[in-house]
Chains A and B, each alone.
Chain A
Amino acid sequence: MLNYFRPKTIKECLECITDDRVYIAGGTDLLVEMRNGHDLSKKTLIDLSHIPELKGVKKIDGGLEIMACTSHDDLVLNKDVNKSLKVLSDACRTVGSPQIRNMGTIGGSIGTASPASDPMPALMLADGSAVIINKKGEIREEKLEKFVVKPGITTLKNDELILSVKVKSLEDYKQSFFKIGRRKALAIARLNFAMAILKNKDNTIKDIKIVVGAALPVTKRFYDIEKQLIGKKLTEKIIEKISKDISDQVLEIAGPRKSSEYKIPVIKNIISRMLKDMEV
């Protein structure tokens, strides 16, 4: 028989955790899975929607801590997010539809480890890390790159719960998010990208961050390419080279598919365009 718990505090929640636990926050993914035959009848369903501690955005040193059950809509509207990590609110604005954004949570976006997650590139751009608590109350922090192992799989153990995501403030950076879906609303990202750039006064790159999601099984930050760019100017030649390098890497990681013929040149063009736009 399905067990259902609706804890009101994190402490209560930890007490409910069992090996067969399934979390529900907004439900926008879980209910679709249930409809598709995901059998919960012998599971313990823990409802996270009534824990106030898990909601909201806190300022922390050098960045923000976004509590796991904060909805996408809240992140679209949140002043601190808009100030420190505009790219995240832009990304959240593209999630699903108004209805989905109102219910869906950031914790869910991470926890489901969907390759098409829209907030994920933005979070990774800001060196996001998941804050995780276990049944005993022990807390660990893990970079999102490591936390998401492969599509649908994270390092979250059965006795653990995602508390929040910590991100760095990119307030001084120029930020950009780009998504391609089949239509404007209610589109699952086919391709999505996030970038942030910080320049020196001489227009050379002080720091740059590039993330590609959706096209890849797991959202990826291109650290090696970022490093190569530091101290350089974004000339057309360099933009061309970076775009090609990234698209080549994507092809390498994702492997050739039917859609590659379309996706690879598009990836190249979009990265090139995003870099050019930021240069302006």
Chain B
Amino acid sequence: MKLMLNMTINNEKISVEIEPDSRLLDVLRDDLGLLGTKEGCGVGECGACTVIIDGKTANSCVTLAASMEGCDIKTIEYLSKNGKLHPMQKSFIDNSALQCGFCTPGFVLSGVNLLERNPNPTEEEIKEGISGNICRCTGYEQIVKAVEDVRDEKYIKDGACDE
């Protein structure tokens, strides 16, 4: 049984034929070629597969693709869509908040979503906001700093994120 799934991905309406038991992560990577979303654990523990569904982060590895009918999904590719980096991406680069880079897309999206939902988080709240993401390289310090810099509007939005 194949299923036609309609959803909005990175502001683009997409229809894709899927198996009913496909994971959102696999549909993104294999069917839509959006490889920014990574698989780190497959059981919702590491956050490398984080995407934003209807304005909230989720682990795409434990999200049934079929459930995404009509949903609005944003992946890391959305942020730099017009060739310009999102402030959060810039801040991650400037703060060396990335080393191997495998966890970075998930962290960036968690950071972005956190500030969307709470524009002025405390350090504790930032830590809580990115607590669903694991990083083995950085020790999180620079990641927290990167989110703080965006919170403090060190980066002026340059229109890359068109919302």
> Contact residues of A with B, CB < 8 Å?
1-4, 6, 24, 27-28, 30-32, 34-35, 40-41, 45, 47, 49-50, 73, 96-100, 102-103, 184-186
Contacts and interface: CB of A to CB of B under 8 A. Distances in A.
Contacts of A99: 44, 47, 50, 57-59, 110, 132
A184 B20 contact: no
Given A3-B1, A50-B67, A102-B58, A34 B47 contact: no
A98 B128 contact: yes
Contact of A97 (B47, B69, B114): B47
B43 interface: yes
Considering residues B44, B45, B58, which has the most beta carbons from chain A within 10 angstroms of its beta carbon?
B44
A33 to B, nearest CB: 10
Considering residues B21, B53, B133, which has the most beta carbons from chain A within 10 angstroms of its beta carbon?
B21
A1 B110 CA distance: 37
A31 B64 contact: yes
A103 to B, nearest CB: 5
A98 B44 contact: no
Interface in B55-72: 56-59, 61-64, 66-67, 69-70
A28 B132 CA distance: 13
Given A28-B62, A45-B20, A98-B57, A6 B69 contact: yes
B3 interface: yes
Contacts of B114: 98
Nearest to B114: A98
Considering residues A30, A41, A50, A98, which has the most beta carbons from chain B within 10 angstroms of its beta carbon?
A98
Contacts of A98: 57, 110, 114, 128-129, 131-132
20 contacts: A2-B1, A4-B3, A27-B64, A31-B61, A31-B64, A32-B62, A41-B21, A45-B66, A73-B56, A97-B132, A97-B133, A98-B131, A99-B50, A99-B57, A99-B110, A102-B53, A102-B57, A103-B58, A103-B63, A186-B45
Contact of B23 (A31, A100, A102): A31
Contacts of A35: 42-43
Given A32-B62, A99-B58, A185-B128, A24 B44 contact: no
Identify the 5 closest CB pairs spanning chains A and B, nearest first: A97-B132, A185-B131, A4-B20, A102-B56, A31-B62
Given A28-B44, A45-B20, A100-B44, A4 B57 contact: no
Contact of A103 (B21, B62, B110, B129): B62
Contacts of B50: 99
Contacts of B133: 97
A28 B59 contact: yes
Interface in B129-150: 129, 131-134
Contacts of A186: 45, 131-132, 134
Contacts of B44: 28, 31-32, 96-97, 99-100
A50 B69 contact: yes
B128 to A, nearest CB: 7
A2 B131 contact: no
Contacts of B62: 27-28, 31-32, 100, 103
A99 B19 CA distance: 24
A41 B25 CA distance: 20
Contacts of B3: 4
Contacts of B64: 24, 27, 30-31, 47
Contacts of A34: 21
Given A3-B20, A102-B53, A103-B63, 12 more contacts: A2-B19, A24-B64, A32-B43, A45-B20, A49-B67, A50-B70, A97-B44, A98-B110, A99-B44, A100-B132, A103-B62, A186-B132
A45 B21 contact: yes
